Amino acid sequence: MKIIEIEGGRQLSGTIRISGAKNATVALIPAAILTDEEATICNVPEITDTDALCDILKILNVKVNRSTESLVINTKDMKNVSIEEEYSKKLRASYYFMGALLGKYKKVEMYFPGGCSIGARPIDLHLKGFEALGATITNEKNKYIVEAKELKGANIYLDFASVGATINIMLAAVRAKGKTIIDNAAKEPEIVNVATFLNNMGAKIQGAGTSTIKIEGVDHLHKCFHEVIPDRIEAGTYIIIGALCGNPLKIDNVIPEHVDALISKLEELGINMEVGLDYVTVLNSPEKLKATNIKTAVFPGFATDLQQPFTVLLTQAEGRSKVTETIFENRFMHIPYLKALGADITIKNQTATIDGPTKLKGTEVVATDLRAGAAMVAAGLKAEGTTTITNAEHILRGYEQIIEKLTAVGAKIRIKEI
């Protein structure tokens, strides 16, 4: 097991550069198999989720050439074999191979995906989308066989604007016959990044980033070169850390519109920031932060992935704040550990009520999932004394070089294996 240890209470200053977006990368890698040639993806973050997807590519006999930050994926000798559970369960995004393999071979055999335990996370909307395109689904325990004689474009309405279902249906539909329309599609920037990648390979996708996506199927996708967008959740996490301990802290390589909701909330708290074209600098935080409420929502609303780190900041605000989680039913697992660090928080249904400010004092905590882990890092940096975070593997799934990046701006943080 990996453990992160932080000596907190230090001010952080300097610049942190944001890496390529995890949630775009994890869809781009499976999407790349749709070409019959070679795809080059650059600005790929070195995180363990990337490694897990490359392992699946290797099982499919796809050649993967990795250099600093870029991946060259060659599908010339690819084979459509079953993706076993030990690989699918390593991460959520393994499910993008369902759409991609179905699109390319009209058949896929794989197991239910893994990922953070933040709710039941069914995949019914993905499967309904595949069925609408003409596929039949056989499901035994955790194994799925999805196959079609032919995929035919269809009109698909998503009951919820799911990120995963939108991308997965897009992946299957790009090589279907005729036109597919996805209504109530998710609008997250990662979806736009994936659609741009597919279009660069010759797909015909319009409307990504809006709630109606139109896809005209094509027979062949060609070679292409593509760049991953900066990670808005990594950026948001470090901006929150800046608000907790920055003096000043510049977060570079950010698309500020992607973190608009967070910036508005930080302004409500009273944080002084400079927002540039591709950076956000947290100049300083006032002695007293104002309490505020947040409610998570689909993009461009307040991102559920930032809810957990943001809660840490609210423990430092004067008065009562409320956090309502609307996307995942089990995303408050960081709260007991924040309480162990000294926070005053109660949970009722999907709302956490935080009374502040409270002094945080280092202790032993657990990274129960990726963003809960990020919240523990943020809290540990603010807390007086030593915070020990166990199960730190979760954090490495989504934050490239987190130890190095924080050390470079003055944090006392180290990782060890026990």
Q: Which residue is nearest to ligand EPZ (CB)?
A: 164
Residue 34 to residue 178: CA distance in whole angstroms: 17
160 near ligand EPZ, judged by CB under 6 A: yes
Could you confirm whether 42 is annotated as catalytic? no
Selected binder of ligand EPZ within 135, 243, 327, 365 (CB under 6 A)? 327
Told to check if 258 binds ligand EPZ by CB under 6 A, we report no
Query: Which residue among 14, 58, 119, 150 contacts ligand EPZ (CB under 6 A)?
Result: 119
* 121 touching ligand EPZ, by CB under 6 A: yes
Among 90, 104, 106, 126, binds ligand EPZ (CB under 6 A): 126
User: Binding pattern to ligand EPZ, positions 373-392, x when CB under 6 A?
Assistant: --------------------
Question: 87, 238, 302, 328: which one contacts ligand EPZ (CB under 6 A)?
Answer: 328
Q: Name the helix (H) or strand (E) containing 36.
A: none
Distance of closest approach, residue 11 Cβ to ligand EPZ, in angstroms? 28
Q: Does 164 bind ligand EPZ (CB under 6 A)?
A: yes
DSSP 137-163: EEEETTEEEEE-SS-B--EEE-SS--H
- Residue 178 binds ligand EPZ (CB under 6 A): no
Per DSSP, the residues of 337-372 read: HHHHTT-EEEEETTEEEEEE----B--EEE--SHHH
As given in the structure block, the two tokens for residue 332 are 């408050």
165 interacts with ligand EPZ by CB under 6 A: yes
| Contact string 18-57 vs ligand EPZ (x = CB under 6 A) | ----xx--x-------------------------------
Q: Does 304 bind ligand EPZ (CB under 6 A)?
A: yes
* Cα atoms in the Cβ-side hemisphere of radius 13 Å centred on 387: 32
* Region near ligand EPZ per CB under 6 A, out of 67-75, 130-138, 156-164, 309-317: 156-164
Which residues fall within 8 angstroms of residue 326, CB to CB, at 6 or more apart?
A: 295, 296, 297, 304, 350
Task: Rule CB under 6 A: say whether 371 interacts with ligand EPZ.
Answer: yes
* Residue with Cβ nearer ligand EPZ (362 or 400): 400
Supply 72's token pair: 């060259």
Type of residue numbered 49: D
124 near ligand EPZ, judged by CB under 6 A? yes
Of the candidates 90, 92, 104, 187, which one interacts with ligand EPZ according to CB under 6 A?
A: 92
Whole-angstrom distance, CA of residue 240 vs CA of residue 216: 41
Per rule CB under 6 A, is residue 157 in the interface with ligand EPZ? no
Alpha-carbon distance 375 to 353, whole Å? Answer: 16
**How many residues lie near ligand EPZ (CB under 6 A)?**
27
Which has the closest alpha carbon to 412: 2, 4, 8, 3?
A: 8
User: How far is the C-alpha of 114 from the C-alpha of 147, rounded, in Å?
Assistant: 22
Can you say how many angstroms the Cα of residue 63 is from the centroid of all Cα atoms in its chain? 25
Contact (CB, 8 A) for 281 and 273:
yes
Binding site for ligand EPZ (CB under 6 A): 22-23, 26, 92-93, 116, 119-126, 160, 162-165, 186, 304-305, 327-328, 370-371, 398
Give catalytic residue positions. Answer: 116
